Amino acid sequence: MFVISTAALKRNTAILRSIKEATGCRVVLALKGFSCWKSFKYFADDLDGCCASGLWEAQLARDHFGKHLITYSPAYDDVDITALCEFSHHLDFNSLSQWYRFRDRVMEHPRFVRGELVCGLRINPEFSTGETALYDPCVAGSRLGIIAEQLVGADLRGLSGLHFHTLCEQNSDALEKTLNVVDEKFGYLLHDPQFKYLNMGGGHWITKTFYDRERLIHLVRNTQEKYQVEVWLEPGEAVAIHTGVLRATVMDVFDSGGHHMAILNISATGHMPDVLEMPYRPDVFLVDSEQSDSAPCVVFREEIYHAAGEPERSIEAAVHTSNPRFTYRLGGPTCLAGDIFGDYSFHRELTIGDTLVFDDMAHYTMVKTTTFNGVKHPSIALQHENGDLEILREFGYADFRDRLS
């Protein structure tokens, strides 16, 4: 079961609101990172709206968040443009060929003529700040955004914004360096009064305790003053980080090839694909409590949650100490041989029926789940400030069947 804390969501969005208040910039939720729409009402007041990756997210934003809607997609088709012109407020294009293909239609639309719909272009400063190529829109040969060289002499009539998204889980020093490159390569456009907004995308780890928010405030103010543009931020992760967990149940325990194996009722490939793609190692806790269902989902009380550690490399160290550890390879119930979360050590042996809690599973997990192998999909619940759980959605066989034909 995914359990999301309304208090934790509010804690994050209050921080984002404070950035808005300090700078006058606008902050929207990136739905690609978190789109549990039944939770929106708990924090929508703090934010300016949503950014959507295409028509369906845009519809979700319109129907369940309201406020301002930014849409950016690597490519739109006729159906997308026809619909988005009716209700998106910013429409950002990935390439000049997309913009030229749809420009006349967009510019003739009454909402564009009235100024209710404005358009921008995603730029690629070709300046990588991250380590993981899979998540780096600035890798050589990237398909995301237009590079400075291709803009020289281009006909940019009708555009009034620039958009970049180059960061991933980064502090404001990475933003500062990026803004310097953006200034070098695209500053001439931002100084042109035709350009009225700069969207700095997502990847800002604003709600992490170590994030340098003062520097962000300084950078945003500086950008606004320097170019006289409106600044937009579209965080996904920063809204939902540390707000939710995924609870799993141990279904089987056995030995294989020198490992203790534990098969869980959740799958890495089906429910947590980033564990395999990025890859990364989630924090896992073993819950020792009769009341594991109502235990707080983001405040880990030591008497209830026992942190799983790194695997013990030596059997001596694992067993012959005053504090023995029991290492298990945690895997999912699918056919994929590599459906493995990782090796974790626990303070006691695992038994069938144990509850394991995977931390920080609200962002980029719930939005990516599948029912590969017909594995049961975890239900989704909100945990309210008084501790009560509200089940938002349970999934059944019909959900699996109906998605396939």
Among 165, 185, 208, 247, interactor with ligand PLP by CB under 6 A: 165
Stretch that binds ligand PLP, among 35-43, 106-114, 234-242, 252-260 (CB under 6 A): 234-242
Nearest CB to ligand PLP, comparing residues 253 and 367: 367
Residues 125-164, mask of contacts with ligand PLP (x by CB under 6 A): ----------------------------------------
Q: Quick one: three-class SS letters along 167-196?
A: CCCECHHHHHHHHHHHHHHHHHHHCCCCCC
Of the two residues 33 and 49, which places its CB atom closer to ligand PLP in the complex? 33
* N- to C-terminal Cα separation, the chain: 26
Q: Determine the Cα–Cα distance for residues 175 and 238; give it in Å rounded to an integer.
A: 15
Of the candidate spans 190-198, 233-241, 334-342, 378-386, the one that interacts with ligand PLP by CB under 6 A turns out to be 233-241
Is residue 54 close enough to count as binding ligand PLP by CB under 6 A? Answer: no
Rounded to a whole number of angstroms, the minimum distance from the CB of residue 200 to ligand PLP is 9
- Annotate 281-312 with b (16+ C-beta within 10 A) or e (fewer): ebebbbbeeeeeeebbbbebeeebbbbbeeeb
Q: Is 234 in the site for ligand PLP (CB under 6 A)?
A: yes
Three-state SS at 11: helix
Kindly identify the residues of this chain, within the stretch 2-41, that bind ligand PLP according to CB under 6 A: 30, 32-33
Do residues 50 and 70 touch, judged by C-beta distance below 8 A?
Answer: yes
Q: Closer CB to ligand PLP, residue 102 or residue 232?
A: 232
Q: What backbone torsions phi and psi does residue 236 show, to the nearest 5 degrees?
A: -110, -60
Cis amide linkage into residue 74, ω under 30° from 0: no
> Does the footprint of ligand PLP cover residue 168 (CB under 6 A)?
yes
* Binding-site size, ligand PLP (CB under 6 A): 15
Q: Pick the piece of the chain touching ligand PLP (CB under 6 A) from 171-179, 232-240, 279-287, 380-388.
A: 232-240
Q: Is the dihedral of CA 89, 94, 99, 101 positive or negative?
A: negative
The closest residue (CB) to ligand PLP is 202
Token digits for 82? Answer: 């026809």
- Which of 78-86, 126-134, 181-189, 228-236 is the region at the interface with ligand PLP (rule: CB under 6 A)? 228-236
Q: Which of 49, 203, 270, 331 binds ligand PLP (CB under 6 A)?
A: 203
What is the closest distance, in whole angstroms, from the C-beta atom of residue 42 to ligand PLP in the complex? 19
Binding segment (CB under 6 A) for ligand PLP, from list 196-204, 302-310, 313-321, 390-398: 196-204
User: Does residue 72 bind ligand PLP (CB under 6 A)?
Assistant: yes
Give the nearest distance from C-beta 237 to ligand PLP in angstroms: 4
Q: Does 238 bind ligand PLP (CB under 6 A)?
A: yes
Q: How far is the CB of 135 from ligand PLP (least distance, A)?
A: 8
CA pair distance 249, 251, nearest whole angstrom: 6
Instruction: Indicate if the alpha-carbon torsion angle 90, 94, 99, 101 is positive or negative.
Output: negative
At its nearest, how many Å lie between ligand PLP and the CB of residue 57?
A: 11
How many Cα atoms sit within 13 Å of 325 on the Cβ side? Answer: 19
Q: Nearest distance from residue 32's CB to ligand PLP, in Å?
A: 6
Smallest distance, Å, CB 22 to ligand PLP? 19
Can you give the three-state secondary structure of 120-176, one letter per residue? EEEEECCCCCCCCHHHCCCCCCCCCCEEHHHHCCCCCCCCCEEECCCCCCECHHHHH
Residues 6+ apart with CB under 8 A from 167: 129, 130, 174, 175, 178, 201, 202, 203, 204
Contact residues toward ligand PLP (CB under 6 A) are 30, 32-33, 51, 72, 165, 168, 201-203, 234-238
